[in-house]
Amino acid sequence: MKKIFLLILFVFTQLSNAVELFSYKLNENEKLEGNFSIVVNDKETCHFLFIKNTESKKYIVKAILLSSEKKIKQLDDLVLDVEPNFYTSHTNGDLLTISNYDEKKKMLTIIDFNMISGKSTSENLNDFKPDLYFKEKNKSFLVNLGKNDVYVQIITNSKSTQKKVFNIPESILKDYKDIKNATLPIEGINQSEFVKNGSINKFRAYITDNNLYFTSTKNDSQTGVIKFDFNSNLVENTIIDYNFNTTYMSRNTFINNDNLYAISSSENDIIIKSFNLINNKENAKLSVMSDLIEIIDKTAIQNFLSQSKVSNLVTTITLNKTTDNLYKVRVDRVNRNLYSYNYNWWWHHEFMMMQMQMMQMQQIRMSSMGRPGGFGPNNNFEEDLLMSLGKEKEYYYIEFVVDSNFVPQKNSTSETLFKNFNVDKLIKEFEDDSSIKKFAPAFLSNEVRYIYQNNKTKEILIDYKKL
């Protein structure tokens, strides 16, 4: 009897302590279009509800700030004429700044939420559609690819924006138009989060403190680099010749901190070179078998090299800054037929993900025209693509730490500034739960916070789980 009493008491205690973080019940004239979540800083998150008023046809955006102590603060509602299309977010002091693009009005709006008062303000920037977007801790960069010019909006907050205009020189115009008119558009690599593989597209974009870079893979020996200097407003074009002079199975590049890193992988070795993009000179060269054999686990190296002959695999290289101002180099592989780089994976859920998928379907269909394999459209094309997106297999990889001069650090235990989350694994239980829909997570270092709609009650809830 005593045990039963204690059990009842325990259950009662647990239930009484189960405090709901946030819940919202839709009115009869409201329809939930989507949710998403962002990390505000190391300990806080913000969760958004996109609600359509079926009578007025307006969209209401509810912003819910969740503090480090799990306290809820509801910020001002936003009322929009069209469905929200958020691009970037960053913070400056007490301000959370969001960029939103209205496709119907062709208008970019910068929205500030004061996280103390809850009030919001906004400013419109007409005739600016972002083709690329990057975020840093306290600012965002939005890039528009014009006919003969590149425009960059540098956003601190709604009252502090700066527009840069870069006129493309005649000598560079052909290379620029190849990028602008490419079937598979240029991809921006955002380094305000952990970059596991980066892009494998022919055309890529990177941003550093003072420069915007466009790269184009000329062939397996060269990469073209167009540099947009924020200080001088000059545009320069250069060709980086790798000069590996060795046999190879796969090659790739990556830019970090005004350096281009080129990798050449063969059956027997991995060669990495570093090129300074300020003076366009080679900085350093590393051979895994000659320079890193005492630093990287030998089994990890052999495992990686064992997959060199798999034809569909592409070698990737990324550098991520560590908490002690070093850099962790990751050499990995992806399947060229399945892999797709998506900046900020959990940013692109629900409506954003669907927009990307539809765009990718069109792009891949267009790029597939003329290839052997049959005539006419593939009736299962959309299904095949949707099934393949996000199902990239994990392959063998190696990691090591270098300093700013690309000198390897022996016995380093450095951790990356941004954590490498296995998002697919972490959210699987939520995806498998039929009672959850419109799920949108935000990952802190030790927990995941998320907003979702209960499929049975239709309530919108915010909760969290320890990692």
CA distances from 227 to 166, 217, 220, 358 (A): 10, 15, 21, 31
245 φψ region: left (φ > 0), alpha (ψ -120 to 50), beta (else): left
pLDDT digits (tens, 9 = 90+) for 221-275: 999 999 999 999 999 999 999 999 888 899 999 999 999 999 999 999 999 999 9
CB half-sphere exposure, 292, CA atoms < 13 A: 28
Q: Does the pLDDT value for residue 67 go beyond 70?
A: yes
Tell me whether strands 203-207 and 211-219 are parallel, antiparallel or unpaired.
antiparallel
| Residue in the structure block whose two tokens are 């499929």 | 455
pLDDT digits (tens, 9 = 90+) for 295-307: 999 999 999 999 9
CB 256 within 8 A of CB 274: no
Query: Nearest CA to 72 among 59, 82, 62, 85?
Result: 62
Within 10 angstroms of residue 252's Cβ, the number of other Cβ atoms is 25
Strands (DSSP E) along 170-257, which ranges? 187-188, 203-207, 211-219, 222-229, 235-241, 250-256
User: Residue 325: which H helix or E strand, with range?
Assistant: none
Per-residue confidence (pLDDT) for residue 311, from 0 to 100 = 87
pLDDT band for position 185 (50/70/90)?
very high
Q: What is the mean pLDDT of the segment spanning 411-428?
A: 90
Q: What is the mean pLDDT of the segment spanning 105-133?
A: 94
CB 120 within 8 A of CB 131: no
Beta bridge partners of 262: 253, 273
Helix, strand or coil for residue 214? strand
Q: Does the pLDDT value for residue 328 go beyond 80?
A: yes
In this structure, the chain runs to a length of 467
pLDDT digits (tens, 9 = 90+) for 357-379: 444 444 444 444 433 333 333 33
Beta bridge partners of 70: none
pLDDT band for position 2 (50/70/90)?
very low
Q: What is the mean pLDDT of the segment spanning 120-142?
A: 93
As a dihedral over the C-alpha atoms of residue 399, residue 404, residue 410, residue 412, rounded to 10 degrees, the angle is -70
Helix, strand or coil for residue 314? strand
Q: Does the pLDDT value for residue 101 go beyond 70?
A: yes
Per-residue confidence (pLDDT) for residue 127, from 0 to 100 = 85
CA distances from 363 to 85, 358, 366, 369 (A): 21, 9, 5, 10
Q: Does the pLDDT value for residue 320 go beyond 60?
A: yes
CA distances from 365 to 133, 181, 272, 407, 465 (A): 25, 16, 34, 44, 40
Helix, strand or coil for residue 192? coil
Q: Does the pLDDT value for residue 149 go beyond 90?
A: yes
Q: Does the pLDDT value for residue 191 go beyond 60?
A: yes
Per-residue confidence (pLDDT) for residue 233, from 0 to 100 = 95
What pTM was computed for the model?
0.85
Within 10 angstroms of residue 197's Cβ, the number of other Cβ atoms is 22
Dist CA 167 CA 50 (whole Å): 38
**228/43: higher pLDDT:** 228
Q: What is the mean pLDDT of the segment spanning 215-220?
A: 92
